[in-house]
Structure 1
Amino acid sequence: MEKSAFQDIFAGSTSYCWGCGCNNQYGLQLKSYWAEDGEGTICVWRPQAHHTAAWPDILSGGIIASLIDCHSVCTAMMVAHRDENVAWSSEPAIIYITASLQYLKPTSMAHPVTLRATVREQTERKMRVECGVFSQDEVCARGEVIAVRLAPKT
């Protein structure tokens, strides 16, 4: 059985997100999956030359923030759907948005980056997702995203 990226099974407007939207041809095109070890999620993404910061071969901090943000929020949504046994096509959809985000240091563009995210705390309305950015198995950045469940309009 072939596993699908979270972003490929999203429906509606989320598929046009600049960071993780599968239907945004100008975006980063993140592809996130459940980690094989069962602990959290994983995404491998290759930087392009135009993703640089002011210094050659250093990934833009804004790109790093977008990677952490999108992978972490996708993780929160997938965990909520899995834990509540709700299909993606269900209405209203379970949607999370970023309430806060922090990130650390420069990341080389010489190799693909790997994102690993894990939900560390979960309440009815919020999830605290920790996400690491790795290059060649070395941690380059860490982020903590507080993802807040968006209540559907009634």
Structure 2
Amino acid sequence: MTIHVLPLQDQAAPEGICFGCGSAHPSGLHIKSHWDADGVHVVCKHTPAPEFTGWPDLVYGGFIAMLVDCHSNWTAMAYHYRAEGREPGTLPRIDCVTGQLNLTYRKPTPMGVELTLKAWVEGEVGRKSRIICEVWAGDVLTVIGDSVFVRVSTEKLRAEAQAVI
């Protein structure tokens, strides 16, 4: 018997419109993040479409950055929900934003291969959390993200963005 668990994105933000991870974006990637069976890592699998080619036969590095950004953010939020003993999607909603995004491109990432993103919180889960995210093309580690995600109030963030306009 297989138990199907909704992806974090569909549980916590089914109305999300982010191009990379928004479940409701009409033409987005709709990446899906899940807790791994090990209970430590949050994983995502994605095969880049041909339009995300950089060099011939290689995935565009900026596209990889987007995958790491979205998946790492969901990893941060998943860890926050867990730290509070709550399921994703319970209220009040938990939101995080990218504070710092760092990637090390270790090897070329080939097109036509399903990528596996494997992420976790390194250290404490706090207002600012450090996320490590590995990108694997088959059994080859191609990229490592080492980033910081910040827990925010959506209302405050929206107000600050409107003040800029």
- TM-score, length-normalised on structure 1? 0.90
Residue 115 (structure 1) aligned to one of 98, 117, 134: 117
Mapping for residues 80-95 of structure 1, pairs under 5 Å: 80-87=80-87, 88-91=89-92, 93-95=93-95
The aligned counterpart of 1:137 is 139
Q: Retained in 1: the 8 A contact 2:7–2:32? A: yes
Judged with a 3 Å threshold, the aligned counterparts in structure 2 of structure 1 residues 98 and 16 are, in CA distance, closer, same or farther, namely same
CA deviation string 1:63-121 (max 9, x = no partner): 11011010010011011011102342303x21110001111223111211000001102
Give the aligned residue type for 1:19: G
Deviation string, structure 1 residues 112-141 (Cα, Å, up to 9, x no partner): 100000110225311100000000111000
Aligned counterpart, 1:27: 28
Unaligned runs of 5+ in 2: 157-165
Question: How many aligned residue pairs are there?
Answer: 151
Task: Give the drift of 1:152.
Answer: 4.9
1:42 match: 43
CA distance in 2 between partners of 1:35 and 1:64 (Å): 21
Residue in 2 aligned with 1:74? 74
Identity of aligned residues (%): 35
Q: After TM superposition, where is structure 1 displaced by more than 4 Å over at least 4 residues in a row?
A: none
Would you say the 8 A contact 1:120–1:128 is kept in 2? Answer: yes
Report what 2:161 is aligned to. Answer: none
Q: TM-score w.r.t. structure 2 length?
A: 0.85
Q: Distance in 2 between matches of 1:142 and 1:108?
A: 15
In the alignment, structure 1 segments of 5+ residues that lack a partner are: none
RMSD: 1.6
Secondary structure of the 1:114 match is strand
Larger strand proportion of the pair = 1
